[in-house]
Every structure is written in C-alpha cells, then in structure tokens.
Amino acid sequence: MQTFEQQKEFGLFINNQNKVTEQKLNVLDKYSLEPIAQVAHAGKNDVEEAVQGALEAFKIPLSPYERYQILQKAAARLREEQEAFANLLVKEVGKPINEARGEVSRSALTLEIAAEEGKRIAGEGVPIEAAPGSENRRAYTVRKPVGVIAAITPFNVPLNLVCHKIGPALASGNCVVLKPSDATPLVALKLAEIFKKAGLPSGRLQVLTGNGAEIGNWLLENNEVDMFTFTGSTSVGKYIKQNAGLRKVTLELGNNSASIVHHDTNIQAAAKAVAQKSFNNAGQVCISVQRVFVHQSIHDEFVQHLRAATESIQVGDPGKETTDVGPMISEEAAQRVEDWVEEAVQEGAKVQVGGRRKEAVFYPTVLTNVTEKMRVSYDEVFGPVVCVESYTEEEESIQKVNNSDYGLQAGIFTNDLNFALQAAEEIEVGGVIINDTPGYRVDHMPYGGVKNSGTGKEGPKYAIEEMTEEKLIVWNR
C-alpha cells in the first residue's frame, strides 16, 4: 500500500472513495516549480455525484457527541502526522517549514475548538407568555444545520482555512462539499483521508479538485447546495454572492491591512512586529501588514528599524529550517508584485530594501514616500511589500486607515489609551488589534471583515452560528 507521499496521482474524494478522472491537474512544488503530483479534474457529473452523496449522508443521523469524537480523532491524527503535513505545505505552498508546522498545529486546534463548540449548540427560551393573551403558551428556539455546504478555499493557508470550514460545518451536523484551491489541493485530500480514518461517515465530506470557476458554477447551479462559505479574492466572492440566490453566503475576502505607529510606542519593537507580519508566508496573508502610518516625528527612526529587521530576514528554500520567507505561489504572482512596485517607484515611491525578484521569489520590500493613489497602497498586494506613510494628527491617521475599500483588521501601536480606544471605535474594520499588528489572529476569535473584505464571521463558535438556522417552537398548552 502506497503512502500518501508516495502517491503521484490522486482522485476526487467522493463518498469516502477516490475517484480518478481522465482529465488531470498538475500540482507544482512552488520552489523548484517541478510537478509533484496530479489530481483529478472534476466534471459536472462528479459535482452532482458529490452533492447527492452529501445530501444522502445528511439524512443519516450523526449525534453531536459522535461529531465531537470524530473531530477530536481527526485533530489527534493531524498532530501525529504534523511533520508529513508540514512537508506537504512546504512543497504545495512554498511555506517555510517552521511556519508550515505552525499551520498544522493551529489546524488541529481549530478542529478541537470546533469539536467543543459542537457540544454547545443551543437555542434559547423565549418568554412568549409575557404577551397578553399568550399566558398559556411556551416557546423556545433550536439551532438546526443548514444541510449541504459548499466550501471554497484559497491557496495561502490551505490546511487551517479548510479546517475553519470543515470543522464548524461537521460539528454543527452539516455535510461539506469542499473545493480547495487548484494550486494547493493535496493537503485537503490528505485531510479527507484523516477524517475517513477518524470514522466520518461516507458523504459527510466530499473533496472536489479541478478548475475553480467551473466547479464553482456547477455548485452555484445545484439547488441541493444550501450554503456557500468562501475564502478568497473579493472579485470571486462578489460573483458567488451575486449568483447564490437566497442561499446563505459567508465571504472571507481581501484586505490591505493597516497599522498605525504612534510616537509614544517602542519603535524598534513595533518595527520588528511589522516586519514579521508583513513578510510571513511571503506576504500572502489577507491580514498581512501592507500600509503603515507612522507619526512624522518618528518616521525616519521607524524606517531605519524596519529596514534592519527586513534585511535580517532569511529568504530562500522553504525546506530549510533557517528560511523565514520562501517563494510566492507562482512566478506570475511574483511578477505582478514586481510590476506594482516598479509602478509605485515611477510614481515617486522609494525602495528602502528589497524590490527585486528571482523566479517565484520576491524579496521582502519596504517602500517609503508612498501615497494613497499608488496601487501598492490602495489595492491588495498579497505579497511581501509594506508601504510606509507618515501622519501628523491622530485623526489624520484614522482617516488614512479608513481610506480603503477593504475592512478586515487593523492595528495600532500606542500607549495613549484615549487614542487607542478612539481608533478602535472609529476604524472601519472587523477587528482592531491594539499594540500589535492587524496580522494577529487566534483560531477561536471572531474573524471577518466589512466593506470589500466580506460578510460573516469565522472562528468555530461564530461559523457555527452562520452554518445553522434558528427555529422557533411555540407550544399552546
């Protein structure tokens, strides 16, 4: 029996079986750019078979405690196989090995949190008897799973962001048809095998690999799909929302995360934190620090510390323990970032460090003299680039942060409690991080944005609320 790592060809995961297809998709090692495996390319019939299998599975009861046990077993197996999963992330994403181990560890925690939250799903008592004429009635609500959930996920955190959808969906009694990114399908298929070994009944989790737009449309056309949960670009998210009809949709979309650095903070510590969260995962994180607004009195000192922190970053082979930043997801993605940086320089921006590319590697880049009219500032770079601008007044810094079509998370470094709480109140985002960067996230917190950053919240407790319907029951005694 071949191990997963020895396999070179993978089928669709439908009804706990592997189904090969004639058409196949190459999966590349993102550093060597060599093919490492082939996955199936789902057709319309495969999508229909997967949805039908999920629908049939949904009709077979699976108790909350059984769901809890399966999720806990899956989390435990994930921890046992941490190194194998981490090595797969190194190859599929180009994620440095230490960062990859961190993603596997967080993924197991996400499943464990979902398992626990699955035991706490409840409605509430409704004091309907308080209404005149309803003295003899009693009422309460219950939360019911929506049914078949289509989950579509991005390439950058392809294990934990899948767990953030599968975990709460299964915990709340739903069935999931997962479409992972066509750039990083293997880790999702490996996770599906973990769930099968953990005893997840056939059809509760289906994994379809192949072309996102094709599979997405076939899922949107299928009326047996009850909900869409999407993490990815704003453009695709808008398309899904526009075509989902009256079905539930949660969208975790793009961002151009901002950080305010005030004159009363520890400048070197802030610069180190900004460097870490501007360049981890090669900046391919939607809460990656992209815009930094520094008080004009400390601008030059901050830039000096940020340069030093950036220059100490080890760039190269993601398989090496010493590497901090590896390649981007593709040479095309790195080329795009290079073009945007060159455009900014032509418009007056100054490269303090970085600004160069080697194949799919784009070197961590700090830009100054940036304005909000430059694409590297107003659009989502989704790459290892951070833009520094200065401000004079506190209100001005808040206005600069809010001058964005996005609104996922923002950060502010200051010891001034009034300014911190004013910023927390006035910045238009889903989450404000005081004395750290917007890149802060732990897996049980509510996570989701406003404006073009999406709708709905993730974090197992909050995702479960999105993935269930509250039903009122009134009893006329």
Ligand X SMILES: NC(=O)C1=CN([C@@H]2O[C@H](COP(=O)(O)OP(=O)(O)OC[C@H]3O[C@@H](n4cnc5c(N)ncnc54)[C@H](O)[C@@H]3O)[C@@H](O)[C@H]2O)C=CC1
Ligand Y SMILES: O=C(O)[C@H](O)CS(=O)(=O)O
Binding of residue 366 to ligand Y (CB under 6 A)? no
User: Using an 8 Å Cβ cutoff, are 162 and 65 in contact?
Assistant: no
Binding mask 157-196 for ligand Y (x = CB under 6 A): x--xx-----------------------------------
Shortest Cβ 385–ligand X spacing (Å): 14
Backbone angles phi, psi at 152, to 5 degrees: -125, 125
Tell me whether residue 273 or residue 286 sits nearer to ligand X (CB atom).
286
| Minimal distance, residue 240 CB to ligand X, in Å | 6
How far apart are CB 221 and ligand Y at their closest, in Å?
A: 29
Tell me which H or E stretch contains 391. strand 385-391
222 binds, among ligand Y, ligand X, none (CB under 5 to 8 A by kind): none
DSSP string, 189-207: HHHHHHHHHTTPPTTSEEE
Smallest distance from ligand X to CB 228, Å: 9
State how far the Cα of 153 lies from the Cα of 345, in Å rounded to an integer. 33
CB distance 402 to 428 below 8 Å: yes
Pairing of strands 125-126, 137-145: antiparallel
Q: 458 to each of 207, 444, 446, how far by Cα in Å?
A: 20, 9, 6
Tokens at 45, concatenated: 């019939």
DSSP E strand boundaries for 416-465: 431-434, 450-451, 454-455
| 441 part of the interface to ligand Y, by CB under 6 A | yes
Distance from chain centroid for Cα 183: 15
The residue among 99 and 252 lying less far from ligand X, judged by its C-beta, is 252
Stretch that binds ligand Y, among 111-119, 156-164, 204-212, 290-298 (CB under 6 A): 156-164
Q: Which stretches of the chain bind ligand X, using CB under 6 A?
A: 152-157, 161, 179-182, 212-213, 216, 231-233, 236, 239-240, 252-255, 286, 380, 382, 408, 454
Query: Per-residue x/- mask for ligand Y, residues 400 to 439, rule CB under 6 A?
Result: ----------------------------------------
Residue 24: which of 42, 6, 36 has the closest Cα? 42
Nearer to ligand Y (CB atom), residue 159 or residue 315: 159
Q: Quick one: the chain helix, strand, coil %, rounded to 5?
A: 40, 25, 40
252 is catalytic: yes
Minimum Å gap between C-beta 288 and ligand Y is: 7
Catalytic residue among 103, 252, 389, 466: 252
Q: Which two tokens mark 424?
A: 């927390």
Q: Under a CB-based contact definition with an 8 Å cutoff, are residues 115 and 72 in contact?
A: yes
- Contact with ligand Y (CB under 6 A): which of 107, 156, 265, 397? 156
287 belongs to the binding site for ligand Y (CB under 6 A): yes
Instruction: Tell me which of ligand Y, ligand X, none is bound by residue 228, counting a contact when its beta carbon lies within the kind-specific cut-off of 5 to 8 angstroms.
Output: none
Give the span between the Cα atoms of 250 and 274, in whole angstroms.
29
* Least distance to ligand X, CB of residue 180, Å: 6
Q: Which stretch binds ligand Y (CB under 6 A): 44-52, 135-143, 279-287, 429-437?
A: 279-287
Q: Which of 81, 92, 112, 286 is catalytic?
A: 286
285 touches ligand Y by CB under 6 A:
yes
In the list ligand X, ligand Y, none, the entry touching 309 (Cβ below 5 to 8 angstroms by class) is: none
The whole-angstrom separation of Cα 91 and Cα 35 is 10
Q: How far is CA 115 from CA 103, 147, 260, in A?
A: 18, 18, 37
**Which are the catalytic amino acids?**
252, 286
Q: Which residues bind ligand Y (CB under 6 A)?
A: 156-157, 160-161, 285-287, 441
